[in-house]
């Protein structure tokens, strides 16, 4: 039996010798490489925190001592050590979540996978423990150096160091990267720590110290506490960053040296006040393809060959929305030297890498700081440029106030490109981008576009970057753009008509108003209705906010309008259309389809769409019931039927 097979919970780690812990670390890496290669997931971050996670669970007593991950993608090792070893369904419906999830285990405290929030969580939990006289409990926040680029981290540090009478340990997992290499003054400081003699002296000194000791397990700390403090004091120059925060600094510590980690964590634990342990790790540790990947060190992967690290079936995936944006932005930048771009530590994932390579002086990576990115964009617009802010749709939530008060109020010409909009699937609740349509459309003067295919994305991006009197938004999902969906005609105000049945008597039955990629579903539903003898029209507004006048006029000549969006139904585009019809005195019935007001769990996009009733068959069946007053099953027709 392997050592990993013997670990059913954290306390099974206590009896292991240092040598057994090192063997366990090797077994965990082998397990992760083999299993994550089958499903995809965050491989590189977890390979880098194997020893650190083992040490955390040996020193602290989870869940009595809560461990908060920032961000949760580095929690796979934690899942293994807390008894969750079935990774066969990782990030799939019914399987393990890719982030901490309270429903899975009492050891998972915080589910959000948005960075820079762990210290605020830890601040609140530790204050609660102190106030309720639970002084024997500790709170641990594991935060990456990339998350230190987020302002919320420093807001929390300011408050943590204002009230020191509590047991709080901050572990900075410093691997020099967020998704890609960490940027800014913070990154330069931490990098100087890695390369200075003080870290090398500390590392070499600890190695000499442990080479003279044969003491196993937790007693290593008690045997060497004084010597370790001496070593740490030699690295005191590295405390400069935190000197004015009044927080105990321990480190830097080799994040792959289990004994050194345990000593440092014990020292912080015994301090009795907030302490910060600076741990230096290597992302992708122990897996050559990840270690040699300069782009992102296998931060997030699809299915790969575990031996070579090469992706499986890439050719079958098709051209992605991100790839189309990446290409078109470079073309537009070549035509317009006022065009600049901003990313929040997501250069390659959002498609800005090509522009950064071609025009490096025109692309700004601000770190995990969406709020700063948006207000900085307003400043760039004031200065005469046209900024394109590219972020994941779910992360746009974090900068709503800046969009509202800094961009929109000042009528700044800023284009927001929201990748991973709508239901994204495997990454779960916090990564599904279902809130952007409902939240952003309340911003006065905003224009929101949702392309349906490659051609419309290229066209809409061109239009958006030409608007200088207010914010524009382009939003698209994760995955392949699919085949082209040509329009039959375009109205004078820019609405594309994709399907139009004959209208005996001038009135049709159903008008589908589809938001972007949902046009494909709407077309399938319309064909199903046609086969049932029900006339239908399908339009893609292209610009879904504000509602085009032609959509209102088309509604006058239909009995039922069905809006279809892959965003939250409450306050979505359908609601906006209903209000526009009411304002215009149009009494056509409206059915607003979208995702429920809930947090979608991890599953495939197709599964989540089906859960929400957003399939052609379900939509067509509902339409038939409304038009005819009877419920009949709708099956997908054969080509002959169409």
- The verdict on whether residue 73 carries a ligand-binding annotation is yes
- The verdict on whether residue 146 carries a ligand-binding annotation is yes
Query: How many alpha carbons fall within 13 Å on the CB side of residue 272?
Result: 0
Using DSSP's 3-state secondary structure scheme, residue 416 falls into: strand
Nearest to 433 by CA among 114, 94, 68: 114
Which of 370, 454, 565, 592 is flagged as catalytic? 370
398 in active site: yes
Q: In this structure, are residues 142 and 104 in contact, taking their beta carbons and an 8 Å threshold?
A: no
Q: In this structure, are residues 390 and 417 in contact, taking their beta carbons and an 8 Å threshold?
A: yes
370 in active site: yes
Q: How far apart are CA 202 and CA 219, in angstroms?
A: 21
Which of 166, 269, 283, 578 is flagged as catalytic? 283
- The verdict on whether residue 370 carries a ligand-binding annotation is yes
Classify each residue of 134-150 as buried b or exposed e, where b means 16 or more C-beta atoms within 10 Å of its C-beta.
Answer: eeebbbbbbbbbbbbbb
| Residues making up the chain, counted from first to last | 642
Using DSSP's 3-state secondary structure scheme, residue 447 falls into: strand
Separation of first and last alpha carbons in the chain: 61
Structure tokens at 220: 């290593």
Regarding beta strands 489-490 and 447-449, do their DSSP bridges make them parallel or antiparallel, or are they unpaired? unpaired
- The verdict on whether residue 287 carries a ligand-binding annotation is yes
Backbone angles phi, psi at 178, to 5 degrees: -105, -100
Chain centroid offset of residue 242 CA: 29
Nearest to 423 by CA among 571, 569, 576: 569
- The verdict on whether residue 175 carries a ligand-binding annotation is yes
Query: Alpha helices, DSSP H only, in 247-349?
Result: 258-271, 288-291, 321-335
Using DSSP's 3-state secondary structure scheme, residue 426 falls into: coil
Nearest to 388 by CA among 346, 358, 418, 417: 417
283 in active site: yes
The DSSP result for 17-79, as a single string, is -HHHHHHHHHHHHHHHHHHHHHH-B-HHHHHTTHHHHHHHHHHS-TTTS-EEEESGGG-HHHH
- The verdict on whether residue 114 carries a ligand-binding annotation is yes
Which of 137, 177, 285, 398 is flagged as catalytic? 398
Reported for 32-38, long-range contacts at CB under 8 A and 24+ positions apart, including other chains, are 32/76, 32/77, 33/287, 33/306, 34/306, 35/87, 35/88, 35/90, 36/76, 36/87, 36/90, 36/301, 37/301, 37/303, 37/304, 37/305, 37/306, 38/88, 38/303
Torsion angle defined by CA atoms of residues 410, 414, 417 and 418, in that order, rounded to the nearest 10 degrees: -10
Q: How far apart are CA 482 and CA 487, in angstroms?
A: 15
| Residue set of the binding site for Mg(2+) | 145, 175
Task: Please enumerate, by residue number, every residue annotated as part of a binding site for thiamine diphosphate.
Answer: 73, 113-115, 146-147, 175, 287, 370
- Residues serving a catalytic function are 283, 370, 398
Residues making up the annotated binding site are 73, 113-115, 145-147, 175, 287, 370
């Amino acid at each position: 039996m392997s050592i990993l097979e013997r670990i059913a919970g954290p306390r099974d780690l206590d009896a292991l010798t240092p040598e057994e812990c090192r063997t366990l670390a090797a077994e965990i890496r082998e397990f992760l490489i083999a299993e994550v290669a089958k499903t995809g997931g965050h491989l590189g971050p977890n390979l880098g925190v194997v020893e650190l996670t083992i040490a955390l669970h040996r020193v602290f007593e989870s869940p009595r001592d809560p461990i908060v991950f920032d961000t949760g993608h580095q929690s796979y090792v934690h899942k293994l050590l807390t008894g969750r070893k079935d990774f066969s369904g990782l990030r799939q419906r019914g399987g393990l979540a890719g982030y901490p999830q309270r429903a899975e285990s009492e050891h998972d405290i915080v589910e959000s996978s948005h960075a820079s929030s762990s210290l605020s969580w830890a601040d609140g939990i530790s204050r609660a423990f102190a106030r309720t006289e639970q002084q024997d409990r500790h709170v641990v926040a594991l935060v990456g150096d990339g998350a230190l680029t987020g302002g919320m981290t420093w807001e929390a540090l300011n408050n943590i160091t204002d009230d020191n009478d509590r047991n709080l340990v901050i572990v900075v997992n410093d691997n020099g990267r967020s998704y890609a290499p960490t940027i800014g003054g913070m990154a330069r400081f931490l990098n100087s720590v890695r390369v200075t003699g003080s870290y090398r002296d500390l590392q070499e000194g600890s190695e000499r110290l442990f080479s003279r000791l044969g003491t196993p397990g937790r007693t290593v700390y008690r045997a060497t506490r004084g010597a370790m403090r001496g070593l740490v004091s030699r690295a005191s120059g590295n405390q400069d960053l935190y000197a004015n925060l009044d927080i105990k600094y321990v480190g830097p510590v080799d994040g792959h040296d289990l004994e050194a980690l345990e000593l440092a964590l014990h020292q912080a634990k015994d301090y009795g006040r907030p302490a910060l342990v600076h741990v230096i790790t290597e992302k992708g540790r122990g897996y050559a393809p990840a270690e040699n990947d300069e782009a992102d060190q296998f931060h997030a992967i699809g299915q790969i060959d575990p031996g070579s690290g090469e992706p499986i079936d890439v050719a079958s995936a098709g051209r992605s929305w991100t790839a189309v944006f990446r290409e078109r932005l470079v073309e537009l930048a070549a035509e317009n030297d006022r065009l600049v771009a901003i990313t929040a530590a997501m250069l390659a994932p959002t498609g800005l890498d090509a522009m950064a390579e071609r025009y490096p002086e025109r692309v700004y990576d601000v770190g995990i700081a969406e709020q700063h990115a948006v207000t900085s964009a307003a400043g760039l617009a004031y200065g005469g440029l046209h900024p394109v802010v590219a972020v994941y749709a779910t992360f746009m939530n974090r900068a709503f106030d800046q969009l509202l008060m800094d961009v929109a109020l000042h009528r700044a010409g800023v284009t927001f490109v929201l990748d991973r909009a709508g239901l994204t699937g495997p990454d779960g609740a916090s990564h599904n981008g279902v809130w952007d349509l409902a939240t952003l459309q309340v911003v006065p003067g905003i224009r929101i576009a949702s392309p349906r295919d490659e051609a419309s994305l290229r066209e809409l991006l061109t239009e958006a970057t030409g608007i200088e009197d207010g914010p524009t938004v382009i939003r698209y999902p994760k995955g392949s753009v699919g085949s082209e969906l040509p329009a039959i005609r375009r109205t004078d105000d820019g609405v594309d008509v994709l399907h139009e049945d004959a209208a005996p008597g001038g009135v049709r039955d159903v008008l589908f108003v589809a938001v972007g990629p949902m046009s494909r579903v709407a077309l399938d539903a319309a064909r199903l209705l046609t086969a049932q003898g029900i006339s239908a029209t399908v339009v893609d507004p292209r610009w879904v906010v504000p509602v085009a006048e032609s959509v209102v006029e088309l509604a006058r000549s239909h009995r039922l309008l069905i809006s279809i969006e892959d965003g939250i139904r409450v306050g979505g585009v359908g609601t906006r259309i209903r209000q526009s019809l009411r304002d215009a005195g149009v009494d056509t019935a409206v059915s607003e389809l979208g995702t429920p007001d809930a947090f979608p769990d991890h599953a495939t996009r197709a599964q989540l769409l089906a859960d929400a009733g957003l399939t052609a068959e379900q939509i067509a069946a509902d339409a038939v019931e409304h038009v005819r007053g009877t419920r009949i099953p709708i099956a997908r027709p054969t080509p002959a039927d169409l």
